[in-house]
Amino acid sequence: MASASSLHSEEHFLCSICLDVFTDPITTPCGHNYCKTCITQLWDSTDVSKCPLCNKTFYQKPELYVNNVLAELCFQFRRHRLKEEYERKPGAELQQMIQKRQLKIQEVKHSLELSKKDADREIADSVQVFAVLMSCIERSQAELIGGIEEEQKTTEKQAEGFIKELQQEIAQLEKRSSELEQLSHTVLHPLQNFPSTNSPPPTKDWTKVNVHLSSVGTVRKAVAQLQKTLEKTLSQEMEQLCGAELKRIQQCAVDVTLDPDTAHRRLILSEDGKQVSHGAVCKDLPDNAERFSTCVCVLGKQSISSGRFYYEVQVKEKTDWDLGVARESINRKETITATPSNGYWTLVLRNGNEYWAAAGPAVHIPVREKVQKVGVFVDYKEGLVSFYDVENRVHLYSFTGCTFTDNLYPHFSPYLNKDGKNSAPLIISLVKHTCL
């Protein structure tokens, strides 16, 4: 096994402030690394925040986030250093057993810390999302109640006006009735001599006058509008959550290269092992056990049998492709359907705009924009394979509840070159890490 010093120079893991291996390392905007506590205490003790190594001044104190990639390397470095120290000393089998368990305790504690951070982050995300949704619901309810109350006030005002008019007409009619009653007892003045008194006073025709009733379906319409608002809000929140999720899983990136020993004879691989396209010529290559004989596919050299794994592939200008992971024991000599039951977990593009998850049966994936770069994430323990639209930071599809029993390898198929219409290569991209 390689020693810690052969993997990385020790100085790469030492904080220039405390001169010890980094604890919760952070990376400053100028690119230098320090223990989070060391640099925080240093900046808290001075009026100006400066980088101790390059003296770059930050007039606004930068937000500090733990560099998870460096933290993991430091953890591995400590383990290697402890092992080297032990191997230089004569020790009994019991001491070796003790040290292995001590290292396991460190590993468990480290995993627990990461788990706690993930849990806290998930809780914070959930609180934020549900607070936004509750705010939408409460605002919609307030607007609905306010509208109903306002409409009722208008109705009440209208009814009061009608009642007032009716009461005035009643008063006029009663007055005329009283006048007629008095005249009826007057012998000297018969009623027919007073035609204006004999006829009723002018009044409104009330047969077509009605009080405005509350609108039917007001609540239903409000709920329908709320549904649209929630869908839009949920879409926005999902984009934000997916962006944060993608940042986290990009910390698990692996430098993937193509394995030429597995490539179909018609595939063209770049010298650096980062690009693959389909060619017209069938190459004269040995038919070794690892090579695909019928399907135009190739695997990556790197495998995963535990932990997490992530890589990105540029798919610009292509009309067809297959991407994902495959089991080491897949059948490479016959034409088979690429489904999980046959050892494949893949996403495919067909006809330029049809995206499918090869789930057996296939699941259609609607997309708003053509995908330019695909991110593939594997959590071996959780049995998870997820695909992302990297540029638009959108989750495309996840295979969940998978059972993995052997090594998984990155799987690539540039598909057929259809008279130059699908000649562009698949390109394994360098993952841009973002500090959390």
Per-domain boundaries in the chain: 4-89, 136-201+217-250, 253-429
Q: Check whether 3 has a pLDDT greater than 70.
A: no
Note the pLDDT of residue 219. Answer: 82
Q: What is the mean pLDDT of residues 118-133?
A: 82
pTM of full prediction above 0.75 = no
Q: In percent, how much of the chain has pLDDT > 70?
A: 91
Q: Check whether 34 has a pLDDT greater than 80.
A: yes
Q: What is the mean pLDDT of residues 109-117?
A: 85
- If you classify domain 253-429 with CATH, what class do you get? mainly beta
CATH numeric code, 4-89: 3.30.40.10
Same fold, 4-89 and 253-429: no
Note the pLDDT of residue 89. Answer: 59
Top mean pLDDT of 91-95, 130-134, 193-197 is at 130-134
Q: Check whether 360 has a pLDDT greater than 50.
A: yes
Q: Check whether 11 has a pLDDT greater than 50.
A: yes
Q: How would you class 211 by CB atoms within 10 Å of its CB: exposed for 0-12, middle for 13-18, buried for 19 or more?
A: exposed
Non-local (6+) Cβ contacts of 300 within 8 A are 256, 257, 258, 259, 311, 409, 410, 411, 412, 428
Neighbouring CB atoms inside 10 A of 22's CB total 25
Task: Please tell me the distance from the alpha carbon of residue 79 to that of residue 107, in angstroms, as a whole number.
Answer: 9
Q: What is the mean pLDDT of residues 39-52?
A: 89
Task: Please tell me the distance from the alpha carbon of residue 179 to that of residue 195, in angstroms, as a whole number.
Answer: 12
Q: What is the mean pLDDT of the chain?
A: 86
pLDDT band at 33 (very low <50, low <70, confident <90, very high): very high
CA angle 264, 258, 419 (to 5 degrees): 50
Run of H or E residues at 226: helix 218-249
CA angle 218, 224, 225 (to 5 degrees): 90
Task: Please tell me the distance from the alpha carbon of residue 124 to that of residue 72, in angstroms, as a whole number.
Answer: 24
Please give the residue that has the higher pLDDT: either 316 or 183. 316
The CB-side HSE value for 390 (13 A sphere, CA atoms) comes to 23
Q: What is the mean pLDDT of residues 47-66?
A: 87
Note the pLDDT of residue 217. Answer: 79
Question: Tens digits of per-residue pLDDT, 88-104?
Answer: 655 667 777 888 888 88
Backbone angles phi, psi at 197, to 5 degrees: -80, -30
Question: Tens digits of per-residue pLDDT, 277-321?
Answer: 999 888 989 989 999 999 999 999 999 999 899 999 999 999 999
